[in-house]
């Protein structure tokens, strides 16, 4: 797989995943929908690993890596599927765009990384103001939106925490092995959750739209999506990969409006713009400020 194809795959998959979550849960119970998604990904991934003779280590360090990854997979996915019952796909994608900022805050506490600069703090403030505007708009449209907002924030927290914990593990293995190992560890958690929350199949109620969405998320959203993401991380700079989190909310909002009749209000656009501007400033603000200062110094001299 070329880097450009992998990058495009991650961009498209991340943009369509929120809508896929909503569609898959329309006639399939959310806990069953996400369980089926993970089961499809694990089975296909295991087959590919066997055919390609890829090593899938199960020593202590590898299990620790899979467990940290599974925290984000289970916590992030389960909460996202619950949130999908109350929120639009565009809002879900927009909130997930804040994961790099939350990851930085967690990394400072857990990994003792450097303090945040004034520019980054300003960027975070802009993003959170934008998110507050978006959330207030959704609360005005639906009284149940607060439940969805709470769960999608929990999803982002688990996803971000998982990423930070994974950084603390120094282990180089094949991206597909990381994907399959992590999905395998998380699978029993999804099974247990389904048994506790629902426990019934109700196959006669499943409609084609939900079935196709579940299969799509299993094959692309979980297996190919995670593999392409790990591959891109190994080949490209962090700043290039970060562009994905800026572009996906825009695509997700557009797709939700065109394919799922999701309402886009002026307030939503204003909040989304502040979030994206804040994220842009967070990732490149210091670099732009440094270039501006250098350019100004050259002109003065």
DSSP-assigned states of every residue in 266-296: HHHHHHHHHHHHHHHHHHHHHHHHHHHHHHH
Q: How far is CA 102 from CA 40, 148, 182, 273, in A?
A: 30, 19, 22, 19
**Helical H segments across the chain, by residue range:** 3-24, 30-52, 60-83, 89-96, 99-110, 118-141, 145-167, 175-197, 208-216, 225-235, 238-260, 266-300
pLDDT at 141: 65
Position 16 scores a pLDDT of 95
Residue-level pLDDT at 195: 95
Distance of alpha carbon 216 from alpha carbon 180, whole angstroms: 17
Question: Low-confidence residues of the chain, pLDDT below 50?
Answer: none
What is the pTM (predicted TM-score) of this model?
A: 0.88
CB atoms within 10 A of CB 282: 24
pLDDT given at position 242 = 65
> pLDDT value at position 31?
94
Q: 48 to each of 44, 179, 219, 261, how far by Cα in Å?
A: 6, 12, 12, 38
- Domain ranges for the chain: 3-300
What pLDDT score was predicted for residue 169?
A: 86
Looking at residue 231, its pLDDT comes to 80
C-alpha 58/C-alpha 55 separation (Å) is 10
Q: Say which DSSP state 301 is in.
A: -
CB burial string 61-70: b at 16+ within 10 A, e below: ebeebbbbbb
CA distance 211 to 75: 23
């Amino acid at each position: 797989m070329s880097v450009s194809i992998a990058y495009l795959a991650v961009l498209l998959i991340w943009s369509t995943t929120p809508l896929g979550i909503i569609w898959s849960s329309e006639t399939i119970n959310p806990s069953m929908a996400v369980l089926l998604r993970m089961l499809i990904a694990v089975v296909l991934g295991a087959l590919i690993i066997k055919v390609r003779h890829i090593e899938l280590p199960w020593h202590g360090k590898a299990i620790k890596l899979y467990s940290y990854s599974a925290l984000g997979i289970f916590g992030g996915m389960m909460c996202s599927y619950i949130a999908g019952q109350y929120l639009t796909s565009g809002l879900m994608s927009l909130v997930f765009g804040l994961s790099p900022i939350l990851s930085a805050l967690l990394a400072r506490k857990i990994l003792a990384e450097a303090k945040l600069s004034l520019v980054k703090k300003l960027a975070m403030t802009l993003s959170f103001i934008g998110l507050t505007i978006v959330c207030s708009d959704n609360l005005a449209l639906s009284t149940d939106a607060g439940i969805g907002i709470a769960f999608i924030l929990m999803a982002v927290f688990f996803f971000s925490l998982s990423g930070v914990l994974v950084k603390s593990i120094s282990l180089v293995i094949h991206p597909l092995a990381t994907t399959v190992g992590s999905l395998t560890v998380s699978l029993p958690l999804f099974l247990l959750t389904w048994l506790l929350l629902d426990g019934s199949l109700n196959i006669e109620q499943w409609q084609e739209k939900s079935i196709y969405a579940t299969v799509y998320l299993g094959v692309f959203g979980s297996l190919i999506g995670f593999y392409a993401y790990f591959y891109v991380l190994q080949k490209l700079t962090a700043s290039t990969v970060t562009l994905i989190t800026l572009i996906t909310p825009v695509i997700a909002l557009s797709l939700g409006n065109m394919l799922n009749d999701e309402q886009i209000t002026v307030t939503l656009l204003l909040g989304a713009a502040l979030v994206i501007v804040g994220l842009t400033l967070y990732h490149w603000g210091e670099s732009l400020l440094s270039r501006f200062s250098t350019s100004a110094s050259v002109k003065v001299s």
